[in-house]
Amino acid sequence: MTNHELELKNITMQFGGVVAVDNLSMYVDSGEIVALIGPNGAGKTTAFNCVTGVYKPTNGQVLYRNSVIVSNHPQGKMAALYAGQDAGIYKETVEPTPDKITKLGLARTFQNIRLFKTQTVFENVLIATHLHRTSNLLTAALHLNYKEERKLRELALEMLRVVGLEDLKNEIATSLPYGKQRRLEIARALATKPKLLLLDEPAAGMNPQESDDLAQFIVSIKQKFNLSVFLIEHHMDLVMDISDRIYVIDFGKLIAHGTPGQIQDNPDVIAAYLGVDEQ
């Protein structure tokens, strides 16, 4: 058995008749930065959602450290509609809610930033420490958990320090500029103490300079917290710069896989990105 940190096996996600992710198999090893790239609408975010429990895939399995965390096969109406492959191979049905996946140590950020809009920068990160609590409703309400509360606050502050937003901790989160909101999302994900970080277009809307800084930042937190990183990104400089391996998908299908050097010269990838008709 191979020892991958995260492994996707034959993941297929079909919405009605649309196959958004088609038989995607891939893996992330411990300590790696792995990128998933592809043109708009290729199915990258959908693949993330299948891993994190937001969608339950129509078919396929997700393994985290060799244990099955998500598993499904076409059922019910989908059994007849199914347009993908390998329908019969995963008998188990495992469909955890997203919070369970997060508790396992997989934390994510969102492509379309999803901060808690009425809360301050600090509170946004503090909420992400809730899963570390040992207090129950009663002890928390009566403030008998003040020691733990102090620890959680320190953790939240520490994460703000890591992303360099400590000075802005009392601002309303959504009042921050775009780039800082993205960093705040990363701080929030880190506060759940993940082992694997899933970043959905963390550099979207950033200029080359900011994107460069972000690349260094991702490498630095990877080392600092001993993370593995699974990254979706359109900024090719960033991807080529920091990725150990790259997967490319188009129309939900895997079209290439390799090191940045191999991917850069792959004719299929160039064709997909330039929209060249292969016929």
Ligand X SMILES: Nc1ncnc2c1ncn2[C@@H]1O[C@H](COP(=O)(O)OP(=O)(O)OP(=O)(O)O)[C@@H](O)[C@H]1O
Residue 81 binds ligand X (CB under 6 A): no
Alpha helices (H) in the chain, listed in sequence order = 44-51, 77-81, 98-104, 121-127, 137-141, 146-163, 178-190, 208-225, 236-242, 260-264, 267-274
12-31 residues in contact with ligand X (CB under 6 A) are 15, 18, 20
Smallest distance, Å, CB 18 to ligand X? Answer: 6
Question: Measured between alpha carbons, how far is 240 from 261 in angstroms, rounded to an integer?
Answer: 8
Q: Does 45 bind ligand X (CB under 6 A)?
A: yes
Report the distance separating Cα 185 and Cα 188, nearest Å: 5
Choose which of 40, 67, 207, 279 interacts with ligand X (CB under 6 A). 40
Q: Based on CB atoms, which residue is closest to ligand X, 5 or 200?
A: 200
Decide: is 112 part of the binding site for ligand X (CB under 6 A).
no
DSSP states along 59-100:
EEEEEETTEEEEEE---THHHHH--SS-TTS----B---HHH
Report which of 102, 116, 15 is spatially closest to residue 56, judged by C-alpha positions.
Answer: 15
| From 25, 30, 111, 266, residue interacting with ligand X (rule: CB under 6 A) | 111
| Residue of the chain from 25, 68, 116, 225 that contacts another protein (CB under 8 A) | 116
User: Which of another protein, ligand X, Mg ion, none does residue 18 bind (CB under 5 to 8 Å by kind)?
Assistant: ligand X
At 7, is the secondary structure helix, strand, or coil? Answer: strand
Assess 199 for contact with ligand X (CB under 6 A).
no
* Residue whose CB is less far from another protein, 106 or 239: 106
- Closest of 245, 233, 24 to residue 109, by C-alpha: 233
How many angstroms separate the CA atoms of 162 and 190, rounded? 9
Question: Which residues are at the interface with another protein (CB under 8 A)?
Answer: 52-54, 97-99, 102-103, 107-108, 110, 114-119, 123, 126-131, 133, 135, 137, 140-143, 145, 149, 152, 188, 192
Question: Which residues are at the interface with ligand X (CB under 6 A)?
Answer: 15, 18, 20, 38, 40-46, 111
Question: Which residues are at the interface with Mg ion (CB under 5 A)?
Answer: 45, 111
